[in-house]
Amino acid sequence: MQKSEQLLHYIESLDVGTRISVRQIANSQHVSAGTAYRAVKTAQARGLVATIDRVGTVRTDPRPRSTSAQLTFADLVRVIDGRVLGGSDGLDKPLDKFVIGAMKTSAMGHYISRNSLVIVGNREDAQALALESGAAVLITGGFDTTPEVMARANAAALPIIATSHDTFTVATMINRALSDQAIRRDILTVASLYTPREEASFLQLPATVGDYRSMAKASGHADIPVVSVSGRVVGVATSITVNERKDAAPIDRAMERHPAVVKTGESVATVNHLMQGRGLNLVPVVDDAGLLIGVLTRATVLAQLQETPEPEHLPATIADQLDATLSPVRPLLGGTAAYRVATAPVMTNKFGALNVGVLNGLVTSATSRYLRDNGRQNVLVDNITLSTLRPIQLSARVTIGLKILDLTRHGAAFDIDVTVDDVVAAKALLTCQLLERN
């Protein structure tokens, strides 16, 4: 076995979530830093390790354990552009739900469960309670925490993450990410079905036709990938390609060269189309470097596609919920359109005023609603500048009035007035792109 393969086996033997480094591998395996670096890069290409901002390189699972995608705390860090303050060993844990800690600690315990995420500000008592209950912590507003809380997070392997965003904005981002993950659950990919290299049958050069026949008889598979000394896929041997060949013949003269290969991110529907179109019973699964990481058989694909689970009704996102609070009213004087807002307590901050993040979302939803109602379905907001003139209380009568500054085939600009009891409380300038489907 080559040294590079020995290093890859060493990396595979590490527990998922273990932090690794080039220096650590070089020292423990007695190899040069260059050799260790190349092994880490190969492992990264195979999905065995990943680099996480502000954490480092960690051992990861190259394929999901099931077809249902789950958001992990490491994913969360990327979604909200967060900083990991402690508990980095638990970044691979799944995020089941999130709780906004906007109540006294005496009332919070009932709502916190293990592997949940508690979103709080600079409240060390609430942070400590969350960790004691087995939950991770997300600190909003750009605040840090105390060394004692960080030590608890490290001991419990529960991430404690900081972000500069406010609570509502973070909740919106997480809600959207959870919704996206639920949608991905229906997009079955090769990653969830393929047989990994360690469990698959393959031949390595220099092999012979006799080696193929022995392996085919033992495995029950007639199609067997052929790889080079470095592990790169160079062909596929089949019962047709070896027909009438002598056992001593080299396999590289009795195989299909340049075979079809797939990668882990490709959809199973696409692979099924490929297999049917070319009459393939097996395709090698490769990484970005063309190295064999597993195989996928047509029988496995067909068995999965024959399953017809009940369609899942996805929960409404926060953006959808905000859109539902808008109802059209007669336009304001000189306006183009206007929408009344049905406010709710969850939209307010601790002072009882409408949260600025909520107001941003309402303005965006009102603009998108107007454009959709006028036949422009695909709206991408470029920029929104919001200026608040006075706080908006929960009991106020809030109206969002739109004035068109520019409307073309490809873009639009709006001047927006947010009025409270007919008095302007906020103004916004919003520009967006109008995308057309091909």
User: What phi, psi does 191 have (nearest 5°)?
Assistant: -55, -30
Residue 226 neighbours by CB distance under 10 Å: 26
Residue 25 neighbours by CB distance under 10 Å: 22
pLDDT in tens, the chain (438 residues): 467 777 888 888 887 667 788 888 888 888 888 888 888 888 777 677 777 655 577 777 654 443 345 678 888 888 788 888 988 888 888 877 787 877 777 777 777 877 788 888 888 888 888 888 888 899 988 888 888 889 988 998 899 998 888 877 777 777 767 666 655 555 577 887 888 888 888 999 888 989 999 988 888 888 999 999 888 999 999 988 888 888 889 988 889 888 899 988 787 877 888 888 788 889 999 988 889 999 998 888 887 766 545 444 444 566 677 778 888 887 655 567 899 988 777 677 666 678 888 888 899 999 988 988 888 877 888 889 999 888 888 777 899 999 999 888 888 999 999 998 888 999 999 998 886 544
Q: What Å distances lie between residue 173 and 163, 176, 361, 381, 395, CA to CA? A: 12, 5, 12, 16, 27
User: What phi, psi does 4 have (nearest 5°)?
Assistant: -60, -40
Render 307-357 in DSSP notation, one character per residue.
Answer: --PPPP-PPPPHHHHHHHTEEEEPPPTT-SEEEEE---GGGB-TTSBBPHH
Structural tokens at position 80 = 């909200």
What pLDDT is attached to residue 429? Answer: 94
Between CA 127 and CA 133 the distance in angstroms is: 10
Structural tokens at position 13 = 């033997």
What pLDDT is attached to residue 179? Answer: 63
Render 82-95 in DSSP notation, one character per residue.
Answer: -EEEE-GGGTTSB-
Nearest to 58 by CA among 34, 38, 77, 74: 74
Between CA 154 and CA 158 the distance in angstroms is: 7
Structural tokens at position 152 = 């608890």
Cα end-to-end span (Å), the chain: 52
**Partners of 431 in the β-ladder:** 383, 413
Cβ pair 91, 117 in contact under 8 A: no
Task: Sheet containing 49-52: give its strands across.
Answer: 19-20, 56-59, 49-52
Residue 214 neighbours by CB distance under 10 Å: 12
3-class SS of residue 114: coil
Between CA 369 and CA 163 the distance in angstroms is: 30
List Cβ neighbours of 400 (8 Å cut-off, separation of 6 or more). Answer: 326, 338, 339, 341, 362, 363, 366, 416, 417, 418
**Helices assigned H by DSSP within 346-437:** 356-373
Cβ pair 224, 205 in contact under 8 A: no
Domains belonging to the chain, first-starting first, are: 3-59 (1.10.10.10), 73-184 (3.40.1390.20), 190-305 (3.10.580.10), 318-435 (3.10.129.10)
What pLDDT is attached to residue 290? Answer: 85
What pLDDT is attached to residue 34? Answer: 84
Question: Taking every pair of C-alpha atoms in the chain, what is the biggest distance, in angstroms?
Answer: 91
Q: What Å distances lie between residue 65 and 80, 192, 193, CA to CA? A: 25, 7, 9
**Distance of alpha carbon 424 from the chain centroid:** 40
Q: What Å distances lie between residue 213 and 210, 231, 253, 295, CA to CA? A: 5, 21, 15, 19
User: What does pTM read for this prediction?
Assistant: 0.39
